[in-house]
Homo-oligomer: A and B are copies of this chain.
C-alpha cells in the first residue's frame, strides 16, 4: 500500500503516474481540505476535485483544474446579479458541488461523500480528506492597499491571482481538528509514504497542522519520500517559490529539505538541481535525482517507479 500526502495539481499529476506504475487500488491519497470554501451555499473542495477529475481522465489538461469540455451558463447567469464572479464554477463541475452539498446536508461525512464521488467516476484509488472538521487557510497580505488584511485562501489564490506578497499564513480551526477517518491508519500501514510535489506551505502545511498527522508521518520517516515542488528555484505552477521566500524559507530544494527533514528520509529533486544534491544530503536527507517535471503520465509513471525504488517497494 502506498499513501500520498496531496494538494491539488502537482499531486494529481503524480497520482496519475503512480496508478500507471502500481495497481490503483494500492494507492491512498490524503488530500488537503483547507482550501475548501462555501460559495453560494455550495461546499467546494478544490483539491479533492482536481485529484478526482485528473484520475478520471476527465480533467481540463490546459488549466490542470476543472473539467474538460466545461460550459459556463450558470456563472454567466449569476453575473447578471452579482457582477463578475471571480471563482468560476463550471456547469458540469456544479454537479459535483451540488451532490457534495446535498449529501453533507444529509449528515454524510466528507470521507463517505468523497468515496461516493470517486466511485461514481470509476476510480479505484482511495481519496481521504485530511479531516472532516473545518480547517481554513487564511492569508495575511503584505503588499499594497490590502497590506495587513487577512483573506481566505481562495481570495488570495484566485481573486488576487496569488500575485501579492504574503506576511503570514495560518490554518484556522486546525488546532481542534481531528484527522479524517482512515488517515492515521493509511500512514501507519503504508509500505511507502509519498509527500507529493505540492505547495509545502498551503497544500502540505494544512495536513501537518492537523494534530496527529505530523506525528504519524514522523513515525514513518524511513518509509517516506518527498518530491520537491521547487525546480531550479521556482515552482512549476503556483506561488510556492514566492510563498517560501516571503515566509522566510529558502526557495530551493535545500529549503524544501529543511522543511521536510524530520518527516521524510528521502527527497527527490529534479535533474536541474543535481548540483544541490550534496547540500540536500547535508541537511540529513537522502537525495535522489530524477525527472520530476511531469509533462506526461508516462514521465509521472517513471518518476513513481523511482520514488518507490527509494524505499524498496516492489511494483
**A interface residues, Cβ below 8 angstroms from B:** 38-43, 71, 73-82, 90-96, 98-99, 101-102, 104-105, 116-117, 120-121
- Supposing A80-B120, A95-B78, A95-B80 touch, asked if A102 and B39 sit within 8 A by C-beta, the answer is yes
User: What's the minimum C-beta distance from A213 to chain B, rounded to whole angstroms?
Assistant: 28
A98 proximity list for chain B (CB < 8 A): 39-42, 74, 78
Contact B77 A91 (CB under 8 A): yes
A39 proximity list for chain B (CB < 8 A): 98, 102
Tally of this chain's copies = 2
Closest residue of chain B to A119 (Cβ to Cβ) is B81
Inter-chain CA distance A75–B74, complex, in Å, is 12
Contact A40 B77 (CB under 8 A): no
Contact A120 B43 (CB under 8 A): no
Inter-chain CA distance A92–B72, complex, in Å, is 9
Contact B120 A92 (CB under 8 A): no
With A73-B73, A78-B98 given, name 18 new contacts (CB 8 A): A40-B98, A40-B101, A41-B98, A41-B102, A42-B98, A42-B101, A71-B73, A71-B91, A73-B90, A73-B94, A74-B91, A74-B92, A77-B91, A77-B93, A77-B96, A81-B116, A82-B99, A82-B102
Closest residue of chain B to A96 (Cβ to Cβ) is B77
Closest residue of chain B to A105 (Cβ to Cβ) is B41
- Supposing A41-B41, A81-B116, A121-B80 touch, asked if A74 and B94 sit within 8 A by C-beta, the answer is yes
Inter-chain CA distance A94–B101, complex, in Å, is 14
A74 proximity list for chain B (CB < 8 A): 74, 91-92, 94-95, 98
Contact of A101 among B41, B76, B91 (CB under 8 A): B41
Inter-chain CA distance A62–B108, complex, in Å, is 38
User: What's the minimum C-beta distance from A7 to chain B, rounded to whole angstroms?
Assistant: 24
21 contacting pairs across A/B (C-beta < 8 A):
A39-B98, A40-B102, A40-B105, A41-B98, A42-B42, A42-B101, A73-B73, A73-B95, A74-B91, A74-B95, A76-B92, A77-B92, A78-B98, A81-B95, A81-B96, A81-B99, A81-B117, A81-B120, A82-B102, A91-B94, A94-B94
